[in-house]
A and B are shown apart, each in its own frame.
Chain A
């Protein structure tokens, strides 16, 4: 993997001076960021710094209030159709998996392709089984999410997002809710995804993963991007004192 070097491709996601407030709380303060096709951006930062809010703005789960946000050449505007358009190209994986507990694994996977993409059911099932294989749990198709371990559930969640064949994947702390012994099985799947050339934004504190996968590291604090650098510079010679302090804390244990 061409670690560190940013691909010279067209931009997939562009944020220009994006702002957002919760009431009077300035949760995103002048965020500018470009993610190119095939690029992997890893975002880290202390809790409450606005990381989740930032990536949730990218697929319209939260609405930005100022600045421009362009995803796959579609600008996110108050028009709901722009959100619909963007969500077709963007998959998301949550910290708490958010699988649908009343549906089997297979039903979780085929739901969106059948209802949103109007794909024939047989084809959706074929694709679903293929992705279940890629996340290494083809044998769990007919179980309910509650019968799986956390690591298996998160891999199903990844497969569910992939079944929509997105061009961009967002991950919001995908391993934070997992027991230590299950973290690796999820990270392995994400590394394979990165090797396949997927455009990814990953919020995580797994720095080993970040080193392997990231083209660009972003450090956020207090709603702003404090530091943005290729991983080799980011980990060895961060320019900001705050980044250095955060890294020493997180790498300490």
Chain B
């Protein structure tokens, strides 16, 4: 028999022997990761033959793809030009298109001289989101802050008071529209989805059937058709002469659709709560709602954070489907910017610009959900 390899340094062995001095032992530091960049590369990139092959393949791929990309996007790009002819003469990307059209892409048909209003609204919204991200600020005043923020945003967008000219929702577009659709969609769909998920698990047959029926109906059809139905059918149910504007109809469609999907994510969380939690709450005499709100939902929603955020992200991008009912969201404005014939060849740049904005928001949601998971995990360590 061969000797087992020595994996511990003398220092580590010494540290281990020193430890069990009852209650008085010194805090042992974890063993230091040894070595340098080279050591790290050996351990992570070239630890085995397959790993080495994958590393080499990836490096080759990067070597082929990255230099031309840099060449196109940066070195030979035209950053600024009033005349699209300059772009056509150049080999690289035509960022001049963004320079010329960014205001239309960002704000759509909103009156040009009033663009500061949607800009300010978006900025306020982003600040409010940023503030809400900090768990230290989860206090009652945050709700007040949100009511105020949304009120001011609505005021800015609509106007009609305080000397601001009135801008009807038909002219809203671009980023503010996308954010409104996503934010209102998330905020309204989330509570509905919780009610649906609870309903689906309810022992009351009517509640159960209604929830299952709704969820399965909505999940069985594409978002486009839900939007279309919301746009065509909602007016049919209303008394003559009452009109619901396009934006509201789109919102109703998005909220219903998102709620149905979110409900399934929430149900997954509810299902993973052990039966003992329900029984302990029952045995203590808590009512159904006390049990649900105080015991079950906090645990279930925490477990369901990844699928819930996944749904948020997917819904954020799906808002681009509102083009079907004639709303100018961010993706549509990026496309419409190209209807100006001389600029038409540069669609890649326009879509990249819009894509980058979508990506920034989605990436933020994804990272924040990771942060939240870890944070909540640290709060309540499970056995």
Select which of A61, A111, A144, A161 is within 8 A of B279 by beta carbon.
A61
Chain A interfacial residues counted at CB < 8 A: 32
Q: Is A96 an interface residue (CB 8 A)?
A: yes
Residue of B nearest to A164 (CB): B284
A111/B280 in contact, CB under 8 A:
no
A96 neighbours in B (Cβ, 8 Å): 274, 276
Nearest-Cβ distance from residue B299 to partner chain A, whole angstroms: 5
Q: Is B39 an interface residue (CB 8 A)?
A: no
Within 8 A of B (CB), among A116-169: 116, 144-148, 153, 157, 160-161, 164
Chain B interfacial residues counted at CB < 8 A: 23
Nearest-Cβ distance from residue A72 to partner chain B, whole angstroms: 13
A102/B380 in contact, CB under 8 A:
yes
Given contacts A98-B279, A101-B382, contact A87 B285 (CB under 8 A): yes
Nearest-Cβ distance from residue A145 to partner chain B, whole angstroms: 7
Contact bitstring B293-332, A, C-beta under 8 A = 1, else 0: 0110011001000000000000000000000000000000
Q: Is B381 an interface residue (CB 8 A)?
A: yes
A100/B290 in contact, CB under 8 A:
no
Bound complex: CA A84 to CA B302 (Å): 29
Residue of A nearest to B299 (CB): A102
A100/B277 in contact, CB under 8 A:
yes
A94/B282 in contact, CB under 8 A:
no
Nearest-Cβ distance from residue B295 to partner chain A, whole angstroms: 6
Q: Is A115 an interface residue (CB 8 A)?
A: yes
Residue of B nearest to A113 (CB): B284
Bound complex: CA A121 to CA B287 (Å): 19
A147 neighbours in B (Cβ, 8 Å): 381
A98/B285 in contact, CB under 8 A:
no
B281 neighbours in A (Cβ, 8 Å): 100
Q: Is B383 an interface residue (CB 8 A)?
A: yes
Bound complex: CA A98 to CA B282 (Å): 11
B277 neighbours in A (Cβ, 8 Å): 98, 100
A153/B383 in contact, CB under 8 A:
yes
B290/A115 in contact, CB under 8 A:
yes
A84 neighbours in B (Cβ, 8 Å): 285
Residue of B nearest to A91 (CB): B283
Bound complex: CA A97 to CA B279 (Å): 11
Select which of B286, B299, B379, B380 is within 8 A of A112 by beta carbon.
B286
A164 neighbours in B (Cβ, 8 Å): 284-285
Given contacts A61-B279, A111-B294, contact A88 B380 (CB under 8 A): no
Within 8 A of B (CB), among A33-92: 59-61, 84, 87-88, 90-92
Nearest-Cβ distance from residue A147 to partner chain B, whole angstroms: 6
B283 neighbours in A (Cβ, 8 Å): 59, 61, 87, 90-92, 94, 161
B285/A99 in contact, CB under 8 A:
no
Bound complex: CA A94 to CA B282 (Å): 12
Bound complex: CA A100 to CA B382 (Å): 10
B298 neighbours in A (Cβ, 8 Å): 102
Bound complex: CA A164 to CA B277 (Å): 17
Bound complex: CA A147 to CA B380 (Å): 9
A100/B295 in contact, CB under 8 A:
yes
Residue of A nearest to B298 (CB): A102
Bound complex: CA A148 to CA B379 (Å): 14
Given contacts A94-B276, A115-B294, contact A61 B382 (CB under 8 A): no
Given contacts A100-B295, A101-B382, A111-B294, contact A116 B286 (CB under 8 A): yes
Binding site for A on B (CB under 8 A): 274, 276-277, 279-287, 290, 294-295, 298-299, 302, 379-383
Q: Can you name 10 extra interface pairs (CB under 8 A) apart from A87-B282, A101-B380? A: A61-B279, A84-B285, A98-B279, A101-B382, A102-B380, A111-B284, A116-B287, A116-B290, A146-B381, A148-B383
Binding site for B on A (CB under 8 A): 59-61, 84, 87-88, 90-92, 94, 96-103, 111-112, 115-116, 144-148, 153, 157, 160-161, 164
In the A-B complex, the 5 residue pairs with the closest CB atoms: A98-B280, A98-B276, A146-B381, A112-B284, A92-B283
